[in-house]
Amino acid sequence: MLTIPLIQIGFGGVGRAVVERVLDARDEFEWRMGLEFEYVALCDSAGAVIDQNGLSPGTLRRLLEHKRQGRSLAESEVGYRHEGLLDIVDLAGSPEAIVIDVTASDDTVPALQLALDRGYAVVLANKKPLAGPIEVFREFTGSGRLRYEATVGAGVPVIATLQEALLASHDTVHHIEGCFSGTLGYLTTGLEQGVAFSQLVGQAHAMGYTEPDPRDDLGGMDVARKALILGRTLGWPLELEHVEVEPLYPAELGEGSVEDFMNAIETLDESYRQRVQAAREQGSVLRYVASLQGSEARVGLQTVPQDSPLGRLQGTDNLITFHTEVYNETPLVLQGRGAGVHGTAAGVVADIVALARCRK
Ligand SMILES: NC(=O)c1ccc[n+]([C@@H]2O[C@H](COP(=O)([O-])OP(=O)(O)OC[C@H]3O[C@@H](n4cnc5c(N)ncnc54)[C@H](OP(=O)(O)O)[C@@H]3O)[C@@H](O)[C@H]2O)c1
């Protein structure tokens, strides 16, 4: 039996789902793979819990409950207020350790760097460390000890397909197109059904499908980071500012409070209605698409044929099409649940297992 210590940075929706999944899979991973995972450190933005002998399943379940009640790990019985992530990696780490970043923060980069320098492995659901300067992307991914499946398409195995099926077989990727935002998928499906843009944004906001400020989704930057990660995985020397981004609202609505924004978006309804109508007259629909071709990436609203994989996509699912030398006339298509903590946690756990297997 190989025991792998886990250090997890972030204990929000995805972080809790990862811990639950690792706990639930304990017996199966032992008999099926001869692997035992043991949490040695867990932290949120303020607090940490560390035990080099491994946090027991009972302690982890109590911490899950504590955190679900909206309290910081710093306030838990076994927790303390941490003074930075470097100390946590330093204190809890060992050469076999895997560090899991399930935050949405840039601040984790130095701790991830330290972990990789020490020979630990790293799993990311957090896109930001791979969407900063390209040198960091190259250094991190070049280590061979970092996996990042959940950064694009949540649990849909987009990165594994690209790396382990296409690039590893010396296939040539000509063109990638995908819908990578459940929120924007919800909006474009609703527009197609004739619902007003402002009403859709209001509903998505009320149901918690958007960030607290919907402009964070509608601005397209989250999709742009995913396109950047895909382009870099293809080997393209892209920076975030090279990705052409079409936001779904004009620059003047970028100022002001969320309330101001929500009150002003009715002014966009008519232009979206006209765009949907113009697309329909050509047998097409609007989708918010990330498109990569010829070393360039762009994200924005595109008119796609109704009878195409992207055109048939409905609701919050994610979809990616790879047009390659091998998958030429018919592209390779992956589709599935693209948002939600459980799908994302599944992608993270699959990466943890893949890295652990390399250590056997
Ligand atoms: N939710 C999804 O469906 C989904 C899908 C695909 C990818 N992702 C990605 O997965 C990541 C996590 O998403 P989420 O929905 O779980 O977010 P979340 O609920 O906001 O959780 C983020 C966690 O990170 C912690 N954190 C923030 N800054 C930190 C720092 N500097 N040091 C240590 N901990 C820090 C937060 O601490 P506090 O608890 O103290 O605030 C929180 O526990 C994000 O990068 C997101 O883009 C999410």
Q: Considering only 79-93, 124-138, 225-239, which range has the smallest mean pLDDT?
A: 79-93
Q: Which residue reads 């300067």 in tokens?
A: 133
Confidence tier at 93 by pLDDT (50, 70, 90): confident
Nearest atom of ligand 1 to the alpha carbon of 339: 3
81 Cβ closer than 6 Å to some ligand 1 atom: no
Residue 81 pLDDT > 90 = yes
Q: Where is 337: in which H helix or E strand?
A: strand 332-337
Strand partners, 323: 175
Confidence tier at 240 by pLDDT (50, 70, 90): very high
157-172: string of b/e by CB count within 10 Å (b at 16+)? bbbbbbbebbbeeebe
| DSSP letter string, 146-179 | EE-GGGSSTTS-HHHIIIIIIGGGT--EEEEEEE
150 Cβ closer than 6 Å to some ligand 1 atom: yes
Segment 209-218, tens digit of pLDDT: 888 899 999 9
Strand partners, 284: 305
Nearest atom of ligand 1 to the alpha carbon of 108: 31
What is the Cα–Cα distance from 306 to 80, expressed in whole angstroms?
Answer: 54
Q: Are 68 and 93 in contact (CB under 8 A)?
A: no
Catalytic residue selected from 127, 128, 226, 360: 226
Residue 319 φ then ψ, to 5°? -150, 140
Residue 338 pLDDT > 80 = no
**Please, what sign has the CA dihedral across residues 242, 248, 253, 256?**
negative
54 Cβ closer than 6 Å to some ligand 1 atom: no
Nearest atom of ligand 1 to the alpha carbon of 13: 16
Strand partners, 288: 301
Distance 48 CA to ligand 1 centre (A): 15
**Predicted pLDDT at 212:** 84
**Residue 1 CB neighbours (<10 A):** 8
**Residue 24 CB neighbours (<10 A):** 12
What is the Cα–Cα distance from 93 to 44, expressed in whole angstroms?
Answer: 17
Nearest atom of ligand 1 to the alpha carbon of 72: 40
- Give 138's Cβ-side CA count (13 Å radius): 8
Strand partners, 36: 3
Residues in the chain: 360
**Residue 206 CB neighbours (<10 A):** 9
Coil, strand or helix: which one is 205? helix
226 catalytic, yes or no? yes
Segment 280-332, tens digit of pLDDT: 999 999 999 999 999 999 999 999 999 999 999 999 999 999 999 999 999 99
Distance 254 CA to ligand 1 centre (A): 24
Q: Which residue reads 């890295």 in tokens?
A: 355
What is the Cα–Cα distance from 202 to 73, expressed in whole angstroms?
Answer: 33
Mean pLDDT along residues 114-135: 97
Domains of the chain: 2-154+342-358 (3.40.50.720), 167-337 (3.30.360.10)
Per the prediction, the chain carries an average pLDDT of: 95
Residue 228 pLDDT > 90 = yes
**Predicted pLDDT at 155:** 86
76 Cβ closer than 6 Å to some ligand 1 atom: no
The percentage of residues in the chain with a pLDDT greater than 70, rounded to a whole number, is 100
Segment 147-205, tens digit of pLDDT: 999 999 988 999 999 999 999 999 999 999 999 999 999 999 999 999 999 999 999 99
Sheet with strand 173-179: strands edge to edge: 244-245, 296-305, 284-293, 173-179, 317-324, 332-337
Contacts of 126 (CB under 8 A, 6+ apart): 10, 101, 102, 103, 104, 105, 108, 151
125 Cβ closer than 6 Å to some ligand 1 atom: yes
What is the Cα–Cα distance from 142 to 198, expressed in whole angstroms?
Answer: 44
Residue whose CB lies within 8 A of the most ligand 1 atoms, among 102, 130, 156, 184, for a mutation test: 102
**Predicted pLDDT at 202:** 95
12 Cβ closer than 6 Å to some ligand 1 atom: yes
Residue 104 pLDDT > 90 = yes
305 Cβ closer than 6 Å to some ligand 1 atom: no
Mean pLDDT along residues 37-63: 97
